[in-house]
Each structure stands twice: as structure tokens, then as C-alpha cells.
Copies of this chain bind each other. A is one copy, B any other.
Amino acid sequence: MSDNLAVAGRETPLGYFKRTWRQNIIYIGFVVVFAFFAITLYDKGFLAPNNILNIARQTAMIAVMAVAMTLVLSSGEIDLSVGAVAGLASVTTAMAVAWGGLPAGIAAGIMTGVTVGLINGFLSTRLMIPTFLTTLAMMGIAKGTAMWISGTAAIPVLDRTYPAIFGGGNIGPIPTLLLWMLVVGVIGHVVLRRTKFGRQILAVGGNVVAARYSGINTSRIKLWVIVISAVTASLAGMLYAGRLQTGRFQLGEGDELSVIAAVVLGGTSLFGGKGTVVGSIIGALMIGVINNGLILMGLEYSQQLIARGGIIILAVALSQAGTRPA
């Protein structure tokens, strides 16, 4: 949101660093925060393998949604419905598993995402309603629907395989949630960095007119991105359902802010045209590490809130010290 007059030409390494600090900030910040907790909490089990895996597990859903949100923000749009859609998908999946077993559950979860995504996309790209409004409206609709079809009750997932695949189990010592996060992250990274589709997303977000002039079908790109976001949110909902062996409308509630925060923290611009999937995942992990560390510190909930805000600001500000753009 601030205007960087970046410097160009044949630049010095320092110059390069100065120009790209916003992309690197998250890595520095992450290391600083992690080191801080590793030192202050070394006797409280922060570095215990199990705790590290806990952080990964707790962060997985946010990270998965953050991957898709990176594409959404890169394309200059926003999706506020991800949290509610995750909740809805957890309910539809759980209900479908109860009704028709694993395949039905998976199909129901994915279909939820596709449906929501197409509605969001249609409203935004055909009726030209800003995604902020469509997805905000969808947030209410998805939450209401989830409450309605579940009667606001939790829908238990009794199937044994489902949780093993989605979020519950381990493969060897590695939680499946971690694998999901990695798989989605790698796919997202490759799509954004190395495919034509990803390049077009960045072009649409960077300058929609130029993209159209270059022969890019801008509304199709936006439609796809919106659908991908909804489907990914549904996947997150399915992971919630697997992890908690329950579908419930509240799962994922409020996640949209955490997800967007992770993405922005990772260096993606809210204004489009610039995005990094790896940064987003690190952003999500950083929030996870902070949440975990503050609880281990034994802070009260109110103090955690204050400290979390302070640490995020500090991490960003520190990584940036002395690199103020001219």
C-alpha cells in the first residue's frame, strides 16, 4: 500500500536486497520468531518433535487455504468466504460419509467447493459485482446453509478410512496433514511460478487492461481462480472433518482473516500482480508458531492477543530495519 520507488539497472546485492525486502521479510521474520521461542522456551518442549508436528498440524488448514488465496490476491481479487466454505464442506462431507461412505464424502466435499466457486465466480465475472461483496455474502450463505442442513449440530464421522486420509492419520512418522500441506503448496507454487495459467493470474492482477490487450481472457482467469479458492477451502473443510472426525459449521470460522494475514505476511500484495506461495505457507507457519509459543509461555488469552499483535509487527519491522525504500 505504500509506493516503493524501486531502483533498477545493474544493481548491487544490497540494492537487490533493498528492492526485494518485502519478498524476503517473511523468511527473516520467521527465523527470528522461531529462534526467539526456541531460546526462551527451550525447557518447555517448544523444540520437541511432537510440538513441531503439532504446529504443522494446526497450521495445515490455514496453509492450504493460503495457497489458493495467494492466487486470488495475485489476481487482484479477494475471497472472504473461505472459512465459511470450509465449515460447510466439513458438514456436507460428514453427512455424505454417513450416508454413502468414503467416495460419497469426497465427492460431496469437492462438489461443495465447485458449486460455491462457480456461484462466486459467476457473480463476480459476469455480473461484475466486486468479489469483496460476493464472497462476503457467500460467507453468510455458506455458514447459514451449514447451520441449516446440520441443524447446527456436529455431524460425527464414524468411517475409519476417511480420517486416515484426511487429516487424522500419520504416514510413518509424518502426519497426513503435513503431506497435504506440502502437496498443495508445491502444486500452488509450480502453478503460480511456472505455468501459463499462473503467469496470466499475475498479469491480470498486475494490470488487467494490459492483460486483456495481450489476449488474455481475463474473466476466465478470474473465474478459475475463484473456483480454485473455493475448492481448496472445501479441501480444508474436509481436513477439518478428518482431523476432528466431525463436520460442524463453526469449523474454519474466522479463518478468512488468518488466511489473508498469512498471505499478506508472506509478501503477496493485496492489490494484485505479485504473489508467492512459499511466502504464504511460511506466513501461515509463522502465525502457527506464534500461537503455539505464546500458549507454551503460559500467557493468558488476553496477553496472547497482545503479544501476537506485537510480535507480528516487530517481526515485520525488524526484518525491514535499515532497508527503508528511498
Evaluate contact between B141 and A309: CB separation under 8 angstroms: yes
Looking at the complex, which one of B77, B257, B303, B309 makes contact with A1 (CB distance below 8 Å)? B77
A258 vs B38: C-alpha distance when bound (angstroms): 39
Interface string of A1-22 (1 = CB under 8 A from B): 1110100000000000000000
A312 in contact with B133 (CB, 8 Å): yes
CB atoms of B148 and A320 under 8 A apart: no
Copies of this chain, complex-wide, total: 2
Interface residues of A in 74-122 (CB under 8 A from B): 76-78, 80
Contact B325 A128 (CB under 8 A): yes
The residue of chain B having its C-beta at the shortest distance from the C-beta of A258 within the complex is B136
B148 touches A306 (CB 8 A): yes
Query: Complex formed: what's the CA distance from A234 to B148 in Å?
Result: 36
| A137, B312: Cβ atoms closer than 8 Å | yes
Whole-angstrom distance from the CB of A67 to the nearest CB of chain B? 19
User: Chain B residues with Cβ under 8 A from A300's Cβ?
Assistant: 148
A134 contacts chain B at the CB level, 8 A cutoff: yes
> In chain A between 51 and 89, which residues have their CB closer than 8 angstroms to a CB of chain B?
76-78, 80
Q: Which residues of B contact A136 (CB under 8 A)?
A: 257, 261, 309, 312
From B3, B125, B144, B264, A208 is in contact (CB under 8 Å) with: B3
Interface members, chain A 282-326 (any B CB < 8 Å): 300-310, 312-313, 316-317, 320, 324-325
Q: Within 8 Å of chain B (Cβ to Cβ): is A45?
A: no
**A3: which B residues are within 8 A, CB to CB?**
208-209, 212, 218
Contact with B along A132-143 (1 / 0, CB 8 A): 111011111101
The answer, yes or no, to whether A145 is at the interface (CB within 8 Å) is yes
A21, closest chain B residue (CB): B128
Given contacts A127-B317, A133-B261, A264-B130, contact A305 B212 (CB under 8 A): no
Nearest neighbor of A137 in chain B, beta-carbon distance:
B309
Contacts of A138 in B (CB 8 A): 309
A145–B306 CB distance below 8 A = yes
- State the CA gap A304–B143 with chains docked (Å): 10
Known A-B contacts A123-B313, A152-B302, A271-B271; the reply to A1 vs B131 at CB < 8 A is yes
Verify A309–B147 contact, CB threshold 8 A: no
Q: List, in ascending order, chain B residues with CB within 8 A of A316's CB.
A: 127, 129, 133
Q: Report A32 CB to chain B, min CB distance, Å.
A: 15
- Given the complex, which residues of B lie within 8 Å of A312, measured CB to CB? 133, 136-137
A-to-B contact residues, CB < 8 Å? 1-3, 5, 76-78, 80, 123-125, 127-134, 136-141, 143-145, 147-148, 152, 208-209, 212, 218, 257, 260-261, 264-265, 270-271, 300-310, 312-313, 316-317, 320, 324-325
Nearest first, the 10 closest Cβ-Cβ pairs linking A and B are: A144-B305, A147-B302, A144-B306, A141-B309, A137-B309, A140-B309, A148-B302, A140-B305, A3-B208, A144-B302
Q: List 8 A-B contacts (CB under 8 A).
A: A3-B212, A5-B209, A127-B317, A130-B264, A144-B301, A145-B302, A147-B305, A152-B302
